[in-house]
Amino acid sequence: MQRDLPRFRELSDFLHFLEGKGQLRRIRDEVSVVHEITEIHRRMLAGHGPALLFERPIKADGTPSGMPLLTNLFGTVERIAWGMGIVPDRLEELGTLMADLRAPRPPHGLREAWDKLPLARAALATRPRTRAAAPVQDCVAMGDDIDLGRLPAQICWPGEPAPLFTWPLVITAPPDSPTADQEENVGVYRMQVLGRDRAIIRWLAHRGGARHHQQWKALGRDMPVAIVIGADPATILAAVLPLPETISELRFAGILRGERPDLTPCLTVPLAVPAHAEIVIEGFVSATETAPEGPYGDHTGYYNSVEPFPVLRVTAVTSRRQPIYLSTFTGRPPDEPSRIGEAMNRLFVPLIRQQFPEVVDCHLPPEACSYRIAIASIKKRYPGQARRLMLGLWSMLPQFSYTKLLIVVDDDIDIRDWRAVMWAVSTRSDSSRDLVTLTDTPIDYLDFASPKSGLGGKLGIDATSKIAPETERLWGEPLAMDPTVIGRIDAMWSRLGLTGSAREPA
């Protein structure tokens, strides 16, 4: 894929770029990682403000940290797109690339084969290069020198029990993979600090890291793991993209950058990590030991319940000579994950169209915790089409399996205009005919509204215009002004000295 921006091989490259764009603010005052950074971040993010680099954070134990803390890195859709090397207008183009990688089609004719050459070149960019020496291993701590307390991990909300790693890229691999360059998984799973060399890793059962852990447990063995805190933006964002299971996140980061990724072998575990990362924590996740995790503030806007999760025993901590600690908070939207969800929304549409060509657009409102409500518009051609789409979307991607409410409308409705959507629901749906309800389906186990943990219902609303045999009535035509009149009024609007919107809906 053609890049719009320079290659950001390191996090510092991206920060220099952001600073040149006025999108990085340095905070030189002492600010505590206990609640204070969260509140500054929350206010800045709500106003679509810049990334924040706290140069003198105060750790949870009250002592100064010599390590700067970076937050709000991806607090706007614009910065998220920049992190992937493109301008925001090309997010759907990236989604098309991801759709082709998920289900490639053979080219029809020479012209289409030529057009697909960039995809072939991108595939070659996934093969990693191995570096024997890497900046992320300039400083090494092992044995008694290990101390997770040196990192300025945040305590984001009142009542949280311990510092939390909130942006860790957790690299795992199945037992039959000798190195992490083939089948590795990179996921973002928060980590509660238990002590100088112990932490809890919290992952949901359907995530890749949890799946690998179950495979290691079945053999009665602890699982090797590498945790990256701070990396180039493409690697960070690849960890949260809806990629096919056959494509590793580290390899896809190479596609985003347009070059092969540089990896380096870990020192104490059989995995490989980005050579230009900031901090790496190596260790083993126990096959048997768990500890109660939480409560912590979550993306739902509530504290999660306390539950047992596996314990990590740290065997090494490596870093650059002057590393930057990457952090964030999660809470009721808007938060950084919900902003990322806005950008991901635009990547989903080409993936959906690949399977359902009738889909015009799809929107997951970030206010609904990024994925719990979805609205889709379609070019309707046959009766029952909206119901077919509902069932298809709920089963298509893991992100949609947690969607509780799905509204389908016609293509004349702007799905990002809630007034238009509610007009369609109120005038094109009938409760006796147009509701689809499912029970006992997978649901976010953090959803306290569901009757059972991890198991709940789904509701679909068919708000499309009805065609026979969906209805026996003659369906009306929606009001619409003559386009020539609209053009004339547009031309005279300002001259008339009228106030209000120049383009109100009919």
Structural contact between residues 257 and 85, judged by C-beta atoms closer than 8 angstroms: yes
> Which three-class secondary structure state does DSSP give residue 259?
coil
Structural contact between residues 71 and 221, judged by C-beta atoms closer than 8 angstroms: no
Hey, what's the torsion of the CAs at 270, 271, 274, 278, to 10 degrees? -70
**What is the C-alpha to C-alpha distance for residues 189 and 169, in angstroms, rounded to an integer?**
7
**What is the C-alpha to C-alpha distance for residues 343 and 80, in angstroms, rounded to an integer?**
7
Residue 61 a catalytic site member: no
Nearest residue to 91 (alpha-carbon basis) of 198, 237, 308 = 237
Structural contact between residues 274 and 260, judged by C-beta atoms closer than 8 angstroms: no
Nearest residue to 135 (alpha-carbon basis) of 278, 349, 306, 312 = 278
**What is the C-alpha to C-alpha distance for residues 163 and 370, in angstroms, rounded to an integer?**
25
* Residues sharing a CB contact under 8 Å with residue 288, sequence separation 6 or more, in sequence order: none
Instruction: Please give the backbone phi and psi of residue 362, each rounded to the nearest 5 degrees, phi first.
Output: -145, 140
Dihedral angle sign, alpha carbons of residues 403, 409, 412, 417: negative
The count of other CB atoms within 10 Å of the CB of residue 363 is: 21
* Residues sharing a CB contact under 8 Å with residue 252, sequence separation 6 or more, in sequence order: 126, 238, 241, 243
Dihedral angle sign, alpha carbons of residues 36, 37, 43, 46: negative
Structural contact between residues 225 and 172, judged by C-beta atoms closer than 8 angstroms: yes
**What is the C-alpha to C-alpha distance for residues 441 and 456, in angstroms, rounded to an integer?**
5
Q: At how many degrees (to 10) do helices 336-355 and 385-396 cross?
A: 120
Structural contact between residues 187 and 170, judged by C-beta atoms closer than 8 angstroms: yes
Catalytic residue selected from 181, 222, 232, 298: 298
Structural contact between residues 349 and 361, judged by C-beta atoms closer than 8 angstroms: yes
Residues recognised as catalytic: 298
